Amino acid sequence: MTRRVQIDRLDLDMRGIAPGDAEAAARLLGPALAQALAGRRSTVATADRLEAGRIETPRRADAQALATQMAGHLVRRLGDTA
């Protein structure tokens, strides 16, 4: 079974995160989303706009941990729209 997620636009506001960490987390977000979606049952959800809200992060965040946290949050919010 092919799973497909299409994101036309994603705006991330990473104010307060060190620029290098923010850039690395943004690059790691795709693989983190794939991992977060891998264990979920197939759910069809569409949304013209999804306001994912905020997550609390430490000032100095590990890029992988931040990407994983963002991906989990996005997947939970997407599940709320299904």
Instruction: For residue range 22-51, list pLDDT tens digits in order.
Output: 999 999 999 998 898 887 665 556 667 767
Q: What percent of the chain has pLDDT over 70?
A: 71
Q: What pTM did the predictor assign?
A: 0.76
Report for 15-24, 56-65, 73-82: range of highest mean pLDDT: 15-24
Map tokens 């306001």 to a residue: 51
Please identify which residue in the block is written with the tokens 């977060």: 36
Q: CB neighbours (10 Å) of residue 10?
A: 13
The closest alpha carbon to 24, from 65, 63, 70, 73, belongs to 63
